[in-house]
Amino acid sequence: MLIQITLGSALVLASILVAGISYWLMEVVLSRLHPWLAKRPHKPKLVLVLCMTAVWVLAQMTVGVWIWALALRGLGIFVHLEEAVYFALVAFTTLGFGDVLLPVEWRLLAGIAATNGLLNIGLTTALMLDSLRSIRAGQMGPDV
């Protein structure tokens, strides 16, 4: 049990580290684009930022799923990589079909992966809202 909790915690930390770095990189990109985004027309640029952020979030979530899948495959829990990715995706998104399960000795990892997915979804939702809020605030500046 302690091994599962330790390993699961390490995977959560790795996933959150990826999310944090992703968030920082998104801020760098948006700050560099700020002068252009602040100029009119605003609405098409908001749509662009929304689409860009959504793709960015999807990529960050995909990396989180792959971290879990590679760890599960590396531990020999799944024979095939596709099965490990499928399980990680289903657990990470808390969809939980239950058609692919972890062996009893590793089942705590399923709950930790689901918790990690919930946490990442919350963080990425905050990223999307903060990005749009920041851009919109810059657009409402003195030149509007």
Q: How far is CA 102 from CA 68, 73, 74, 75, 118, in A?
A: 13, 11, 14, 12, 19
- Cα 51 from Cα 135, distance rounded (Å): 13
- Cα 63 from Cα 19, distance rounded (Å): 9
pTM as predicted: 0.87
pLDDT in tens, 83-98: 999 999 999 998 888 8
| Residue type at position 9 | S
pLDDT in tens, 51-74: 888 898 899 999 999 999 999 999
Residue with tokens 């972890």: 102
